[in-house]
A and B are shown apart, each in its own frame.
Chain A
Amino acid sequence: MKILVCITHVPDTTSKIQFTDNNTKFDKNGVQFIIGPYDDYALARAVELKESLGASLTVLNVGEAETEPTLRKALAIGADDAIRINAFPTDALFVAKQIASIAKENNYDLILMGRESIDFNGGMVHGMVGELLGMPSISPVMKLDIEGDTVKMAREIEGGKEFLEAKLPLIAGCQEPIAEWKIPNMRGIMSARTKPLNVVDPVDSEIATDVTTFQLPPAKGSVTLVDKDNVEELVKLLKNEAKVL
């Protein structure tokens, strides 16, 4: 059994988001990068499957050299080897094509990734990879077990849960509580440096989108508290200050 986990390299959730170059580029200065939290869950489940089924586990990232520490962290958590496709992950289709090309070569039985990245939150890559490979792609998966070549899953849907089964090979976009995310142990960290991290060139793919500019949400204004009995004051403020009446 061969498992591939695709991970994103994203700013830590507490990072201050700023832009440069006329609001066209994300300002990486001083930002700490992490494995995408949803990808982290996918990786944690993959490590469990690797242990229980004796599978091999490869992690993949489409990114430039700076993402290698993130890949090495995935190796420390338990992946056997890593692939970095040496390209800036411009948009979802570009990334999906890169993943599909590696997946075609290597015949993975199971491809896991997060339900979405937490930088651009597209949530499209798993679907696109499914389409490109002609495999079922299911998301968001919150439970995943394998019995023979059958994958039993639970998926979150509006107002409830859906239980479904599918045959391998398969692609899943994961979210909690599929597994508890794992802190790498010291031995894992030390062994990461001896595990292979292969850098491959991207396949040609046209880039379909172009970011013209980013805009931050307006800064939160200050809050004025009005006593619950003082309706007059509230109306006055809504009229004169907020100018919404």
Chain B
Amino acid sequence: MNTITKQSINGGEFLIKDTAAQDIFIFEEFSEEQKMMAQACQDFIDTEIHPKIEEIDSMKNPDLVPSIFKKAGELGLLGISVPEEFNGMGMSFNTSMLIADIIGGAGSFSTTYGAHTGIGTLPILYYGNEAQKSKYLPKLATGEWAACYCLTEPDAGSDANSGKTKAVLTEDGKHYIINGQKMWISNAGFADIFIVFAKIEDDKNLTAFIVEKDFGGITMNEEEKKMGIKGSSTRQVFFNDCKVPAENLLSERGNGFKIAVNILNIGRIKLGAGVLGGCRTVASYAIKYSSERKQFGVSINTFGAIKQKLAEMAIRTYACEALCYRAGQDIEDRMAALAAEGMEDTEAKLKALEQFAIEAAIAKVHGSEVLDYVVDQGVQVYGGMGYSADAPMERAYRDARISRIYEGTNEINRMLMVGMLLKRAMKGEINLFEPAMAVGNELTAVPSFETIDTSELFASEKDVIKKLKKVFLMVGGKAAMALQDKIESEQEVMMSLADVMIEIYAAESAILRTEKLVSLKGEEACKQQIAMSQVYLFEAIEKIQTAAKEAIASFTKGDEQKVMLMGLKRWTKSDLVNTKELRRQIADYMIEKGSYPFS
């Protein structure tokens, strides 16, 4: 927990409020103990997973992944978030983010891990009653039992609540009989526990059940043949008169969709962190390969075009780290604050997670897209070898792609973040309209010629961030007024607004992380981090400009459009940054260190 002086803002409020650097948590602040845990996790991956990655992905030995899974259980990695009373480790939220981050470098096993510890275990942890928790959690926390999560169906993917799986209460009221088909179920092949979402009678909403494999009536198709994460079990699961004791209904009838949404919410921010291990591993491989590979008589890492890629991999990873751990700590602090106010523990955790659902969606989208960028450039740095299945990049490239699809596709998450923000604004939970009005007034007023004192580090960058927030308020505010409830069907505008939100949060997080780091280590020691933050911001401005222009063009005309474009120009004005020099400097540092050197 941070000090009491910390000012905490609500979820989504980063768009209308400033955050001070000392109020965010940064990766560099993890304690010796947390770092030891991360290292233990890395050692586990290096000894148990990397040497066997071919065998894992071949799926030829059906006992291999379950045996690695058991070892992870012995190390305590499967019970990170489970309280100690249920055989878990009871660790803080941000520690669980850190572990997900490191496991992210484990290829397909990271999906196995996430499906079990996240969507498989958490529904019971957060929504189970005492009897359910004591029956299931201890065995899930130690890996004696493996769990999976059965939400998706052939005809119900993004529209998850439309599932057709039925649960019918027996006449004696003692059992539910479940019938239906689930699809794309991670860990299904070796799971003992299935969290199943089904509808009772003609309910509008799903209900969740804890189903043991031994209840019977469960059959499966063969393993799906997938593009990547081939070592992660994914199967269709059929429930044929599966008899589930009535006490295995989770939470209440009709509460299943809420459970699904809230659990995915946690899954999303964990996935944001869960790409980081992969990003660092790939960047490190690229650094090494580029120093060994020679063309035209020199190492390819002496070429500007390669340096540009190495640096850019690091810059985006650094920003993603910054935003994930910032949001993770905000959630953790809110959990503690609500519990301190007397809220029941589980309730406090869920409320805190819900509060930062916008940030969680941002983490998921930003993280999965950073990972895809990093693996794509990783392949490019390797050239022909990048395309060869004998080198590590080919696998990384394939494995990365799923992250943009599961835990809610990135399209769904983009719409969610904007939708949630607008909904909160309508309900008065976040005061978006006043700042939006103020920005509207500023648009037509004479521009202020105030100059800022740029002697302080990041003074002008922070000023730019402030202005970028005005861009969001201008475009978002106008879109909400012009389109009203039609905005949901103007998905392209929603996507543009989401892009603006994501880039503001990421750029601001990178700058705040560096500012805090400078306050701990001094400017000289943080030269690369300063450069990375500056380049990130520069690129964010470009992206925001494009997204905003597209949105403006789509729903405004004439004078209004002109005024908005002028506003956009005014608020995206920034000093030109010599990105070439900065990226070279960053890349040279990475090459000197020999691996991703920023966390």
Question: Interface of A with B (CB < 8 Å)?
Answer: 14, 16, 30, 69, 72-73, 76, 183-187, 189-190, 192-193
Contacts and interface: CB of A to CB of B under 8 A. Distances in A.
Interface of B (DSSP majority class): helix
Contact of A189 (B33, B44, B74, B597): B33
Contact of B89 (A14, A72, A184, A190): A190
B80 interface: yes
13 contacts: A16-B593, A30-B593, A69-B36, A183-B40, A184-B36, A184-B40, A185-B76, A186-B40, A186-B77, A189-B33, A189-B36, A189-B40, A192-B33
A78 to B, nearest CB: 13
A161 to B, nearest CB: 26
A72 B32 CA distance: 9
Closest 6 A/B residue pairs (Cβ)? A186-B76, A185-B75, A183-B43, A185-B76, A186-B89, A183-B40
A183 B44 contact: yes
B68 interface: no
Nearest to B99: A186
A143 to B, nearest CB: 21
Contacts, number: 43
Contact of B47 (A16, A76, A183, A184): A183
A189 B594 contact: no
Nearest to A69: B32
Contacts of A184: 36, 40
A183 B48 CA distance: 11
Given A186-B80, A187-B76, 19 more contacts: A16-B593, A16-B594, A30-B593, A30-B597, A72-B32, A76-B36, A183-B43, A183-B47, A184-B36, A185-B74, A185-B75, A186-B37, A186-B40, A186-B75, A186-B77, A187-B89, A189-B40, A190-B89, A193-B33
A192 B74 CA distance: 17
Interface size class of B (residues with CB under 8 A): 10 to 19
Contacts of B597: 30
A192 B47 CA distance: 23
Contacts of B80: 186
B596 to A, nearest CB: 13
Contacts of A189: 33, 36-37, 40
Interface in B22-69: 32-33, 36-37, 40, 43-44, 47
Nearest to A34: B39
Nearest to B90: A190
Contacts of B36: 69, 72-73, 76, 184, 189, 192
A72 B75 CA distance: 17
B16 to A, nearest CB: 40
A73 B32 CA distance: 10
A58 B85 CA distance: 30
Contacts of A183: 40, 43-44, 47, 75
Nearest to A16: B594
Nearest to B91: A186
Interface in B281-298: none
Nearest to B80: A186
Nearest to A14: B594
Contacts of A192: 33, 36
